[in-house]
Structure 1
Amino acid sequence: MAVQRPTRRQVLQGVLVGTVAGLAGCSGDGGGDGGDDEVSADDYPVIDRWLTETELGGAADNYDGSFADERGADTVTVDVGAEGNGGAFAFGPAAAVVSAGTTVEFRWTGGGNPHNVEALPEEQLGESDYEFSSGEAEGGSGVKYTVTLDEPGIVLYHCEPHFSLGMKGGIAVE
């Protein structure tokens, strides 16, 4: 795993640098708030595949191919138990892009309980650069789980009790 992780990051960073240079026509350190840069499924095919894949859990029906652009935000909230997949069985947003160093707060809505959040590469196409778990599924609206995404890469995650329904999410860390 340690050998694959840097390779994926290097590839992702190379693609991102090439894309930004090609789109912007200049070099720089970015640091903007997203501006005119639209983020789509074409930019992160692994996340798109994860959210539409049905061989591993259901497809996330609240995912429409778009990503929430949260680059530059210090903290981003992901709702756990958002509307989708036939009830409160989704993450909201389903897909997002954040900057390295962003803290992601998974916040339970209270709907569709119980839930948890798991990033387990072996269970998620083998493509997630992060591994974490909020633990056993919990119910309620006051539950929170926080993780800081320090390195560029891909985060694929799901809710174990509602995995078969398509309760999946993905975050690209730039």
Structure 2
Amino acid sequence: MTQSPFTEADRRTVLKILGASSAVGITGLAGCAGNGNGDGNGADTIPASDYPAVDEWMTETDIGDAANNYDGVIVNLRDESDVTIDVGAGDDGFAYGPSAVAVSAGTEVLWDWTGEGGQHNVEAEPDDQIGESDYEFSSGEPVGGADNEYSSTFDESGIALYHCEPHLSLGMKGSIVVD
């Protein structure tokens, strides 16, 4: 057996540097592919594999289609005191943008209608979804136009999975991780 010239501490340092370089490279590339639809490209991200319920909800096809603007990452917005999510984002107006975010407890999230894609709402109904949401809320009946907003403050750690009632079958889904 050949002995490596590196100690275990050296190996960990190299792996940390490579991991940080990869994350910076991926984030930089994501920013280059931005589509201007509020999808969080270019922001710090977290792999959705860290939150399996989020990944399952966003890709689940038994309950609505997969979210068309979800790419397996959660946009890290934990340093923001308030966060805005576009309702009617994406090329077709049937998405939330960004579709998956992480926020700190106490953050106010504002859903802001773009006026695209018809009438939308924001519904977190754990029993009608995959049963993994720690939050339940509703913006009410679907409404259209660009002059609609809905907000909620997330005070406790957990996961909020939500959807647009009339467009769930098209994959209009979102998720919020609260730490």
TM-score range, shorter chain: 0.7 to 0.9
TM-score w.r.t. the length of structure 1 is: 0.76
Of 90, 115, 119 in structure 1, the residue corresponding to residue 95 of structure 2 is: 90
**What does the per-residue CA deviation read over 1:71-130, in whole Å, with 9 as the maximum and x for residues that have no partner?**
02110000000015xx11000001000000000000000000100000001011111000
- Judge conservation of contact 2:121–2:140 (CA < 8 Å) in 1: yes
* Structure 1: gaps spanning 5 or more residues: 1-22, 24-36
Q: 1:93-172 maps to which residues of 2 (within 5 A)? A: 93-172=98-177
The residue number in structure 2 matching 1:64 is 71
Q: Describe the shift of the 1:38–1:77 C-alpha distance in structure 2 as closer, same or farther (beyond 3 A).
A: closer
Shift of 1:40: 0.8
Alignment partners' CA distance in 2, 1:144 and 1:76: 13
In structure 2, runs of 5+ residues without a counterpart are 1-15, 17-43
| CA distance, structure 2, for counterparts of residue 60 and residue 140 of structure 1 | 22
SS in 1 for 2:58: helix
Percent of residue pairs bearing the same amino acid type: 58
Normalised by the size of structure 2, how large is the TM-score?
0.74
Q: Any idea what the Cα deviations from partners look like across 1:38-61, whole Å, max 9, x if unmatched?
A: 511111110000000000011001
Query: Moved runs in structure 1, 4+ residues, more than 3 A?
Result: none
Distance (Å, rounded) in 2 between the aligned partners of 1:168 and 1:156: 8
Distance 2:45 2:124 in 1: 26
Q: CA RMSD in A?
A: 1.2
Report which of the two structures shows the higher radius of gyration computed on alpha carbons. Answer: 2
Match of 1:42 among 26, 36, 49: 49
Secondary structure at the residue paired with 1:163?
helix
